[in-house]
Amino acid sequence: MVVVGGGIAGLTAALRVARLGGRVSLLESSTTVGGKLARAELAGLTIDTGAESVLNRRPEAVDLAREVGLGDDLRHPATSAAEVWSRGRLRPLPPTVLGVPSDLAALARSGVLSRAGVVRTGLDRVLPGGAVPADRADDVSVGRYVAGRLGAEVRDRLLEPLLGGIYAGRADHLSLAAAAPQVLALASTGDSLLVAARRSRQQTAAASAPPLFAALVGGMGRLAEAAAAAAVAAGVDVRTGATVRSVSRRAGPGEGWRLLVGRADRPETIDADAVVLATPAAATARLLDELLPSAAYELRGIEYASVALVSLAVPDGGVVRPPRGSGFLVPPVEGRSAKAATWSSAKWAWLGEEAAREHGRGTIVLRVSFGRHGEAKVLQRDDVGLVELAAAELAEAVGLRGPLLDARVDRWGGGLPQYAVGHLGRVARVGRAVAGVDGLEVCGAAYHGVGVPACIADGRAAGDRVWEWLRTRPTAAAGSAGTMPP
């Protein structure tokens, strides 16, 4: 069996099938596995350059961390407070469920919205179930829904920055059902959204509730590294620098699959009895063009947002007014270029301690993110230009001054899929088309959730399905899945 794509979804699928007894090759086009889970060096410290935390209230990521021997290194953020750069300055982020306020008084105190905006938000209490502006019969954009219920300011100053952080997406484009199921769940109660949000927050804030997020000492990227090591130990043949160029049905005895891998002019042939495509939508579409043109067409309809992260190490005293908590979000209506700044050394105690050991107490490690769907212009700046822009906006927001210890820029072109209105229907159509082909599976961020836990769940489910097919197919014995040299 071959898994194409060595991000966390592909690694999980490969590990799963190998542990169940299958022979697996994993082919990854870049020089390292991990995809959007990656680490690098900044000022002598190791930092994440992609995903930096995972939802702790979904089991998959923390379970995988334990399964690959990292359970003792799981940590929770040192603070859950954050700020919003709204109406000209940093203000405390009031409690919300994905942008839906749960406490009107705290919202008013925060100053994030204008007085009129707060009053409009409160109207949802007296107009529960207010008009739902449907874009399509079966779905609606989360932005239009929330603006219809709570007013445009809630959308623009709370929902937008939170969606910008998760999807690098825009509220009026993203699907309520696919991108904001938490908000759909509030809407489905039939209560005022405020009341439903308060009830939900009370449950999640209960002393017995586990912390919302987790990460690993040394960086979340370690999860992919350890999953890859576990896969190799389980017998997976992990190959990097192996771009899969085509996937086709093999004619003749045993049938199965033929993959062309490597250089376009001199590709290597790899045969397999089953294939899992754990690649981003555009790459999967290319690989399915001949075989499943309808699925390829649907996959091409999933747009991606590009993002860039500017990581900075700042010496003690380099920031006059550090934000309270783990950093701040920037709503697009503020007209800034950055969309968020994460105070990594305050959020993760292990990193703060490491920075203090390496460079002295008070050293700050932070990362500024740029790039929203449909707004790639800012990303055309070169690295120096992006660092300058980050520094200029930080100077205004928090009083950054003086020289930096170090800076680096990491770019993720096409980094995050956009779950647009109608996404669930699209994914169901892809799923039906793929299910009709024996020994073929797809998984990854394009389908059922962009977060690391959702990708792990998707990879694991794809691994289970393909193993079930390998085990029960009439021809060959289970476990004979393998690859052939050219």
Ligand X SMILES: Cc1cc2nc3c(=O)[nH]c(=O)nc-3n(C[C@H](O)[C@H](O)[C@H](O)COP(=O)(O)OP(=O)(O)OC[C@H]3O[C@@H](n4cnc5c(N)ncnc54)[C@H](O)[C@@H]3O)c2cc1C
Distance CA 95, CA 408 (A): 32
- Segment lying near ligand X (by CB under 6 A), choices 74-82, 109-117, 251-259, 451-459: 451-459
- Segment lying near ligand X (by CB under 6 A), choices 89-97, 189-197, 279-287, 392-400: 279-287
- DSSP H or E segment with residue 456: helix 452-472
Name the 3-class secondary structure at 215: strand
In this structure, are strands 304-314 and 364-370 parallel, antiparallel, or unpaired? Answer: antiparallel
Question: Residue from 2, 15, 19, 28 that binds ligand X (CB under 6 A)?
Answer: 28
Cβ burial of 314 (10 Å; 0-12, 13-18, 19+) is buried
**Closest CB to ligand X among 183 and 456?**
456
Distance CA 181, CA 382 (A): 37
Residues touching ligand X, count (CB under 6 A): 36
Question: Residue from 280, 318, 322, 352 that binds ligand X (CB under 6 A)?
Answer: 280
Residue 327 touches ligand X, criterion: CB under 6 A: no
Distance CA 88, CA 412 (A): 29
Residues within window 404-443 making contact with ligand X, judged by CB under 6 A: 412, 415-416
Name the 3-class secondary structure at 234: coil
Distance CA 365, CA 60 (A): 28
**Closest CB to ligand X among 6 and 331?**
6
Question: Residue from 1, 2, 3, 9 that binds ligand X (CB under 6 A)?
Answer: 9
Question: Residue from 180, 236, 450, 481 that binds ligand X (CB under 6 A)?
Answer: 450
Q: Least distance (Å) from ligand X to the CB of residue 64?
A: 12
- Segment lying near ligand X (by CB under 6 A), choices 4-12, 292-300, 335-343, 476-484: 4-12
Q: Least distance (Å) from ligand X to the CB of residue 116?
A: 34
Largest CA distance in the chain: 73
Q: Least distance (Å) from ligand X to the CB of residue 5?
A: 3
**Closest CB to ligand X among 101 and 219?**
219
CB burial string 270-309: b at 16+ within 10 A, e below: bbbbbbbbbbbbbbbbbbbbebbeebbbbbeebbbbbbbb
In this structure, are strands 213-216 and 54-55 parallel, antiparallel, or unpaired? Answer: antiparallel
Cβ burial of 40 (10 Å; 0-12, 13-18, 19+) is middle
Binding-site string for ligand X from residue 224 to residue 243, where x marks contact by CB under 6 A and - marks none: -------------------x
Q: Least distance (Å) from ligand X to the CB of residue 72?
A: 21
Residues within window 37-76 making contact with ligand X, judged by CB under 6 A: 37, 50-54
Residue 5 touches ligand X, criterion: CB under 6 A: yes
Residue 451 touches ligand X, criterion: CB under 6 A: yes
DSSP string spanning 294-351? HHHHHHHT--EEEEEEEEEEE-TT-BSSPPSTTEEE--GGG--SEEEEE-HHHH-HHH
Residue 4 touches ligand X, criterion: CB under 6 A: yes
Question: Residue from 86, 121, 200, 279 that binds ligand X (CB under 6 A)?
Answer: 279
Residues within the interface to ligand X (CB under 6 A): 4-10, 27-30, 35-37, 50-54, 243-244, 278-280, 283, 307, 309, 412, 415-416, 444-445, 450-452, 455
